[in-house]
Each structure stands twice: as structure tokens, then as C-alpha cells.
Amino acid sequence: MKRRKFIKNSAGLALGAYALSSFQDKIESPSKKPKGLIKGDLIGITAPAGSIWNKAHVTKIERILADLGFRTVVGESNYLQEGFLAGSDEIRAKELMGMFQDTSIRAILTMRGGWGCARILDLLDYKIIAANPKVIMGFSDITSLVNAIYTKTGLVTYHGPCGYSSWGDFSTEQVINCLVKGQPYTMKNPSNNREDLKTWNSGTAQGKLVGGNLTVISSMIGTSFEPNWHDKVLFLEEIKEEPYRVDRILWQLKQAEVFHKINGLVLGSFRKCEPEEPEKSFSLEEIFKQHFTTVPFPVYQGASFGHIAPKFTLPIGVNVEMDADNFTIRTLEKSVIV
């Protein structure tokens, strides 16, 4: 084969591969929603990640849900420990799949984050999950689980309180608005929220919500569970990561072209993300300024989600409009089937 012909054909193959890759990157399962919750529904409580060290929290969330009118069934993972995990990967995955398959269970509440969800993603049967749509909610390490389920099945999932979380009036009202009432609603910080609201880039943007914990989201890049970033409104939060680590992860997202594809960004709580040696470090604010003042999409900081007590319940896969100047996220459609 002549060299010129070989190069031409190779270029065509490369271009075709790039086109196919680009096309596949845009393929996304249509969003499908679980049924909204009603009083008397049975909620399964499971621990797909870290071990539950204080078992009193299990009793506490059962009481909270009972006061809201729900029945509960507690998985054995809540009482197991294998290192830092709530039982083996196989036990946690089997329990979660069992709750999806059990038609009497109408929703699944994860007990806590920690670490461990990524270990079970390959053990789940996403066809079965898609055939048995129901509410599943949590945050922190649960980020990988709720985004993976949405990515693989199109099922809307929920970034909200875990069983371990503080269920104050604001957080509970958010859960009810999202999972029970289900009608379009606006998420705006409570007046007593101590988070510092700040606009980094003005404007509004629309798109489907994806996101969660910054570190966990970054760990999904390059895997089959990575969300499709095109035309999304991304939300991110973090805890106990120094500014240089936050900067490193934001560069990873930038170089993975996440910021080339999204329509808008909402930053939640970045609790305890101060430098160990301030005189030798950029502040977190300086890091955000470097990354977000010149991006072509709106960005605001300080939304009420993450490792803080008053929490939004964010429906992953639902169309929203974010307003970086008025500090709001507004759902544009129902968040559950009601």
C-alpha cells in the first residue's frame, strides 16, 4: 500500500472513530421518574457504602420516617462491618438489588456515605433497576450510586439527606416538596443559612441536573458510569479538602472537557476546605475566582446542599433553571410521578 493512500485511509478511520465517539457521548437514556411517595408507603433503609458505627441513628431515622407517615424496613447492612464498609461488596449489592426487586418497597433511603458505593457499581443489574423504578436518595459517597443509576437507566435519582443526616424542618420540607408533592418548585437557601452566597458568573441556564460530591464526581470520569455532561446543570459540594486539592480536581474536570459541555454550575457547601498553612496557599475563594470568572456559563456559590444541616433535595435527571444572580434552582417539570 502506498503511504499516501494509507495515511488517507487511516485519517478516515480516525475521523470515523472520533465521530462515533462524539455521537456516543451524546446518547442518553430519556429520563424516567419513579412514583411519588404517599403516606403508608414502605421505605427500605440500606447502607451501600460506609459502616454505621452508631446504630442509634438507624432507630432515629425509623422514628423520623414514621412521624412522616411512612413504614420502614431495615437492611442487614446497617448492622454489619467489614473494615470501613457496611458488610462485603456482595452483601451490600445484593441487598440493594433486593430492595429494587421487592415490589412492596416504594423507596430506598441510603443510611450514610463514607466510602464504598463505587465498589458495588459493577455488581448491580441496571436492567432490573430500570424495570423497577423507585425513589433512591442520598449524598456524599452516594453520589456515585445515584449518578451511575441515572446514567445507566435514565431513572431520576435524588441527591438529598441520608438516614444519618440531620432532618430539620427545612430539609424535611425539601424532601416532601420533591418526593411527595412532586410539582415544580424553587430551591432557595433558608434565611438563616450561613453559607456565603456569591455570583462568580452572572446569568441563567437550563438543563438536566447532575452532580454531587466533587471528589466522587471526578473519580467517575473515564468510567462507564460517568454522566453525560452535555447541556447539564452541574452541582458540586465538598468537605475537608484543602484548596490545592480542590484546584487539582477542578483542573481534572476542565481537562476532561466537563466545563466545555455543561450549561451552568452551582457550588454548594465547601465545608472545612481551608488551607492548613494559609500563608503558603491560595484561599478557596481565589481558586474559584481563577476557575469561574471567565467561563461561558453562569456560576454561583453557596447553595444549601452538601455536608450541612439545611439541605436541598436535588432530582438528578430533572430539567431545571439556575439563576446565578438570584441564587435559585427551579425545577421545570415534576420531580416524581404524581
Q: Using an 8 Å Cβ cutoff, are 137 and 113 in contact?
A: no
Q: Which of 291, 307, 321, 335 is catalytic?
A: 307
224 is a catalytic site residue: no
Q: Using an 8 Å Cβ cutoff, are 49 and 119 in contact?
A: no
269 is a catalytic site residue: no
Task: In whole angstroms, give the CA distance from residue 99 to residue 101.
Answer: 5
237 is a catalytic site residue: yes
Count CB neighbours of 123 within 10 A.
13
Using DSSP bridges, classify how beta strands 232-239 and 204-213 pair: parallel, antiparallel or unpaired.
parallel
Q: Which residues contact 296 (CB under 8 A, 6 or more apart)?
A: none
Q: Which residues contact 10 (CB under 8 A, 6 or more apart)?
A: none
Angle between helices 284-292 and 243-255 (to 10 degrees): 20
Using DSSP bridges, classify how beta strands 264-271 and 299-301 pair: parallel, antiparallel or unpaired.
parallel
Q: Which residues contact 147 (CB under 8 A, 6 or more apart)?
A: 157, 210, 211, 212, 217, 220, 225, 227, 316
Torsion angle (degrees, nearest 10) of CA 22, 125, 178, 261: -10
Q: Which residues contact 141 (CB under 8 A, 6 or more apart)?
A: 49, 50, 113, 114, 115, 116, 117, 118, 213, 216
Q: Which of 77, 140, 165, 219 is catalytic?
A: 140
Q: Which of 237, 238, 242, 321 is catalytic?
A: 237
Q: Using an 8 Å Cβ cutoff, are 228 and 151 in contact?
A: yes
Which residues form the catalytic set? 140, 237, 307
